[in-house]
């Protein structure tokens, strides 16, 4: 137990860097998708640079952070196995599974774009970009309030957040339609 705080700190550090990668990678996907719509030579220059940026972000920051966050999380669960008896931990682990599903889907999108396969448009990718935000909000509130959470308010709160994010995306789309440089 003397190393508990160090392990917890390392877990949090790598969760933060993992989320940083998950927040930024869809943004790079958006830029890459939009670059495919440009004329040459701008298209080739942008896609080459964006492929390099996404590759570095994905393999140097995001994947290692996911793996290290998980290793330190498992270490914490081994140190304090009673957490596995707590209902809030079951829900949190469910969100972690959802986060890994999101991560793996981002990996599949990454591979497609690296191979010049574009199946998404930039608007759908903007919506996809908010998935990690919803998971982050859910996990943070769950961990902080734990058993005191009123599940009805929590679920309603997440839906309200999702609606606000969608409205923000629609507003941005309108602003961008009026001013393409925005």
Q: What is the DSSP string of the chain?
A: -TTHHHHHHHHHHHHHHHHHHHHHHHHHHHHHHHHTTSPTTHHHHHHHHHHHHHHHIIIIIIHHHHHHHHHHHHHHHHH-GGGGGSHHHHHHHHHHHHHHHHHHHHHHHHHHHHTT-----HHHHHHHTTHHHHHHHHHHHHHHHGGG--HHHHHHHHHHHHHHHHHHHHHHHHHHHH-TT-
Q: What are phi and psi of 2, to 5 degrees?
A: -65, -20
Does the pLDDT of residue 4 top 60, yes or no? yes
| Domains in the chain, number | 1
Task: Give 135: exposed, middle or buried? Use CB within 10 Å, 0-12, 13-18, 19+.
Answer: buried
Distances in Å between the alpha carbon of 60 and those of 18, 54, 64?
11, 10, 6
Local confidence band at 147 (pLDDT 50, 70, 90 cut-offs):
low
CA 128 – CA 5 distance, rounded (Å): 34
Q: Most confidently modeled of 70-74, 154-158, 163-167?
A: 70-74
85 alpha-carbon distance from chain centroid: 27
Q: What is the mean pLDDT of the chain?
A: 90
Does the pLDDT of residue 149 top 60, yes or no? no
Predicted confidence at residue 14, as pLDDT, reads 98
Q: What are phi and psi of 161, to 5 degrees?
A: -60, -45
Predicted confidence at residue 20, as pLDDT, reads 97
Does the pLDDT of residue 13 top 70, yes or no? yes
Q: Domain range spanning residue 102?
A: 4-178
- Give yes or no for a contact between 81 and 114, defined as CB atoms under 8 angstroms apart: no
107 annotated as a binding-site residue: no
119 annotated as a binding-site residue: no
Query: What does the angle CA 74 – CA 79 – CA 81 come to, to the nearest 5 degrees?
Result: 80
């Amino acid at each position: 137990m003397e190393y508990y705080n160090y392990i917890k700190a390392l877990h949090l550090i790598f969760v933060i860097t993992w989320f940083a990668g998950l927040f930024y990678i869809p943004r790079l996907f958006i830029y890459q998708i939009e670059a495919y719509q440009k004329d040459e030579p701008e298209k080739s220059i942008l896609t080459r640079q964006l492929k390099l940026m996404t590759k570095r972000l994905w393999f140097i920051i995001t994947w290692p952070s996911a793996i290290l966050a998980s290793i330190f999380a498992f270490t914490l669960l081994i140190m304090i196995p009673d957490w596995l008896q707590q209902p809030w931990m079951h829900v949190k682990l469910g969100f972690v599974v959802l986060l890994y599903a999101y991560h793996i889907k981002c990996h599949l999108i990454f591979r497609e774009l690296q191979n010049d396969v574009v199946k998404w448009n930039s608007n759908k990718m903007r919506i996809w970009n908010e998935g990690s935000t919803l998971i982050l909000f859910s996990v943070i509130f769950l961990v902080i309030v734990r058993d005191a959470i009123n599940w009805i308010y929590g679920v309603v709160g997440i839906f309200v957040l999702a609606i606000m994010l969608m409205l923000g995306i629609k507003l941005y789309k309108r602003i961008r339609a009026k001013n393409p440089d925005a």
